[in-house]
A and B are shown apart, each in its own frame.
Chain A
Amino acid sequence: MREKETTLYFGPQHPGITGNMMVKLKVAGDTIVKAETHVGYLHRAFEKLMERRTWMQSFPIVCRICVPEPDPNEENLARAVEEIEGREVPERAKYIRVMVLELSRLAAYFLWMGGQSGTAGLYTVPQWSVGDRDYILDLFEELTGGRIYHMYIWAGGVRRDLPEGFADKVLKTMDYIESRLPEYDKLMFDNAIFQKRAQGIGVIDKDKALEWGVVGPPLRGCGIKHDVRKDEPYEVYDKLDFVVPTYEGGDIWARAMVRRKEMEQSISIIRQVIEKMPGGEYYNKVPTPLNWFVPPGEAYVKTESARGEFGYYVVSDGSLKPRRVHVRGPAYVHGVSLLENILVGANISDVAMIMNSLGVCPPEIER
């Protein structure tokens, strides 16, 4: 007998949703028959606003596109502008950028850990991981002046040099975080509740993953080894020694394990960066922001963020302001076309788990 179908609105006001968005679910019993993503609650028209801003004024705008991890946005725009202009970046600035990117990746993973285990009902992990994330935010605060939004990376380099004794503080924090990881294993990754809730749920088809546009940890969770840092090394990633962890299965568990292993890699990258960081200038002078004409041209640049490939398509028409800055966040595909498909057949109680494991972040869908 066919069960009666009911419509459920998952969000926008819902404790399990990842940000301000809504998934309209058609359910039969508690199995999902059809899912439809509704976004637009966070639409601020960044791309329109950037047409009205100078290039320098665009940097504070782009970092607000992704709240948990703003630095890949700044780095992307900076690199796109540098590519169009042909501007050189000092070696030291590149190392500092990599350090900031990896720190923000770690911070994003800590936040993800809290969200992922919170949706599975493990309420101790958020208390720990969000608290530990604050150690990284404190580093950011000392370096850039801001906890969440940094506006630190800009075309030509970075905004300021490392403060005195900063490298030691970073290393100390890394030691602390590394010592905490086994504790998280005990609490979350080795926890039977989490394993039962994660294994075999939200499976992405490995054969279709590339075609569907899956990127980042969900792709590596399918056992496909692709990482922008290796495929197309930007900044100084080609001089650093790290591996790209993959995991078979394509389910929530595989994605969680990929992220867990990447945290170790990030710690190792940060240590290498601090060891290898050269001296010298930290930025090349850019023109006065109000007189900064970028020559006509276009560039597509991409970064590996904590949730996957972050792409920027930037077009300049030779004026003071960008002609077009179009952002392609990983959630643009993960949150709409992929989510709508893998939610079919899932249980209502797993929706929040699946959304968290895909890293659906609505601000980058609608911008």
Chain B
Amino acid sequence: MYNDKEASKIVDIIKNFARKHSLWIVAYGTGCGAIELPPTMTSRYDAERFGIRGSATPRQADVLLITGYLSVKTLKRVIRTYEQMQEPKYVIGFGSCTINGGMYWDSYNTIKALDRYLPVDVYINGCMPRPEAVISGFIKLQELIAQGKADGAKRYQENLEWYRENQRKVIKNWRMPEYNW
């Protein structure tokens, strides 16, 4: 009755439905935005009702939350963390400084545009974004997942050369293991 293409479409819909209700965040507070995560997670805003919760290691996580500016030293660790994560994986840029540098636009140690270095699925603006904004960002991500549009990991694989070139431009001493997907 169904051909293969249609069958895989149905499987995708079921897969995406399951994925969007279980978004585990890597416990990596990369910037000052990490201070708004405890309120988001705990009793008042209770993000767990959307299936959002923390996870200790990158291997078990789905979402890498970049909470604010990234210094060059952190960027290196973030890239490693991201590459260790298993698919499905999504990146959320959190705060103005991931979008255009924010108030650190002239600093010598922070990167200005996160999507040059990692594939960003959703940006949340504000300095700093309120817990409601964080949750709304996650809901946006859930919508994208349901529509099958949150394809950051795929973009990263396809354009790896371009991302690597940008990353190497900033990280001068590249001593990183190469992961194969």
- Interface positions of A (Cβ within 8 A of B): 12-15, 19-20, 40-45, 48-49, 52, 60-61, 64, 67-68, 111, 114, 126-128, 130-131, 133-134, 137, 147-149, 363
Closest to A12 in B: B77
Q: Mark B80-109, 1 if CB is under 8 A from A, else 0.
A: 010000000000000000000001101111
- B148 close to chain A: CB less than 8 A: no
Is there a chain A Cβ closer than 8 Å to B29's Cβ?
yes
Query: What separation, in Å, do the CA atoms of A148 and B36 have in the docked complex?
Result: 8
A137 proximity list for chain B (CB < 8 A): 39
Given A42-B74, A45-B109, A148-B36; A134-B81 close (CB under 8 Å): no
Our pick among A13, A44, A114, A131 for the contact of B71 (Cβ within 8 Å) is: A44
| Given A48-B108, A126-B38: A13 in contact with B43 (beta carbons within 8 A) | no
A48 and B127 alpha carbons, distance in the complex (Å) = 21
Q: With A44-B109, A44-B110 as known contacts, state yes or no: A13 contacts B32, CB within 8 Å.
A: no
What size tier do the contact residues of chain B reach? 20 to 34
Residues in B whose Cβ lies below 8 Å from that of A114: 38, 42
Known: A20-B74, A48-B107. A130 touches B30 (CB 8 A): no
B contact set with A: CB distance below 8 Å: 26-32, 34-36, 38-39, 42-44, 54, 56, 58, 69, 71, 73-74, 77, 81, 103-104, 106-110, 127-128, 130
A149/B128 contact (C-beta < 8 A), A41-B74, A52-B106, A60-B103 known:
yes
Contact across chains for A67 and B73 when beta carbons are under 8 A apart = no
Could you tell me the distance in whole angstroms from the C-beta of A305 to the nearest C-beta in chain B?
15
Are A126's CB and B128's CB within 8 A?
Answer: no
| A44, A52, A60, A127 pick with most chain B CB within 10 angstroms | A44
Q: Which of B71, B107, B128 contacts A40 (CB 8 A)?
A: B71
Chain B hits for A128, CB < 8 A = 43
> Which residues does chain B contribute within 8 Å of A45, judged by CB atoms?
104, 107-109
Q: Are A148 and B103 in contact (CB under 8 A)?
A: no
8 Å CB contact of A19 from B29, B42, B54, B104: B29
The smallest beta-carbon distance between B114 and chain A, in angstroms, is 15
Taking the closest CB of chain B, its distance from the CB of A124, in whole angstroms, is 10
Chain A residues near B27: list those with CB within 8 A: 13-15
Q: How far is the CA of A290 from the CA of B103 in the complex (A)?
A: 18
Separation in Å of the A114 CB from the closest CB of chain B?
6
Q: Are B42 and A68 in contact (CB under 8 A)?
A: no
